[in-house]
Amino acid sequence: MNNTKLSVNINKIATLRNSRGGANPSVVEAAVKAQQFGADGITIHPRPDERHIRYQDVYDLKPVVDTEFNIEGYPNEKFMEIVLEVKPTQATLVPDPPGVLTSNAGWNTIEHQAFLKGVIDRLKNAGIRTSIFIETDEKMIRAAKETGADRVELYTESYAVSFPSDKEKAVAPFVKAAKVAHEVGLGINAGHDLSLENLTYFNQNIPNLLEVSIGHALISDALYLGMSNAVKMYKNCLR
């Protein structure tokens, strides 16, 4: 059985805060509470327009995250400057263009291999674990190993979309991808549209799954169930 960790992405807390201005709800308090309720980590994804997580949030969160701090995003110079200063547990590299609504593709680790190698060298020299957001293409996973990354994060939107109609078919490419990643020595994370409906099956079928990062669905469920219940229910899916 996997001993999969749950990292709670709190971007949506910041979205709600920013819609009204001010500091309520607090992303710092959300991180503290999520950890108290059982989260194994906190994920944030600052974007250049600061439409949810602001750059200042990164610094404010650093002292209160006593589990694992995962900062994801496109590694432009501003992102690299902040990550190298804050030194989170993990940096997850995502190939987002500036105006994208949400992450919607994995890296082409062949085309961008030299760029990723340079970025990852800088992060690893600072003692930061690195992960690459990637799809299930075997060639891309094998090329990810060549960048020097520690892990890959499997982009799970296609699994979530196909799960209601054919869960076995939906999970099959991810099982194969996880086996390839493990074979070449990469740790395996996963995220995007994982939910209470599809998480248990994913965790049961993906070998060597280390971590899932979940934000939108978990925070949405917390509106109905409360943060404490939501975190506990997601943790139960990983047991």
Selected catalytic residue, list 52, 68, 72, 135: 72
State residue 98's pLDDT score: 56
State residue 101's pLDDT score: 47
Structure tokens at 80: 């690299």
pLDDT tens, the chain, 239 aa long? 679 999 999 999 999 999 998 899 999 999 999 999 999 999 999 998 898 999 999 999 999 999 999 999 999 999 999 999 999 999 999 997 655 545 567 999 999 999 999 999 999 999 999 999 999 999 999 999 999 999 999 999 999 999 999 999 999 999 999 999 999 999 999 999 999 999 999 999 999 999 999 999 999 999 999 999 999 999 999 99
**Distance (Å, whole) CA 143 – CA 1:** 28
Selected catalytic residue, list 45, 52, 135, 153: 45
Question: Is 72 annotated as catalytic?
Answer: yes
The answer to whether 142 touches 179, Cβ cutoff 8 Å, is no
Show the domains of the chain with their CATH numbers.
5-237 (3.20.20.70)
Selected catalytic residue, list 52, 153, 192, 211: 192
State residue 2's pLDDT score: 76
State the SS3 of the chain.
Answer: CCCCEEEEECHHHHHHHHHHCCCCCCHHHHHHHHHHCCCCEEEECCCCCCCCCCHHHHHHHCCCCCCEEEEEECCCHHHHHHHHHHCCCEEEECCCCCCCCCCCCCCCCCCCHHHHHHHHHHHHHCCCEEEEEECCCHHHHHHHHHCCCCEEEEECHHHHHHCCCCHHHHHHHHHHHHHHHHHCCCEEEEECCCCCCCHHHHHHHCCCEEEEEECHHHHHHHHHHCHHHHHHHHHHHCC
State the SS3 of 27-41.
Answer: HHHHHHHHHHCCCCE
State residue 105's pLDDT score: 77
State residue 104's pLDDT score: 62
Give the CA distances from residue 10 to residues 89, 127, 140, 143, in Å, rounded to whole numbers and listed in that order.
Answer: 16, 24, 29, 30
The answer to whether 110 touches 145, Cβ cutoff 8 Å, is no
pTM of the model: 0.95
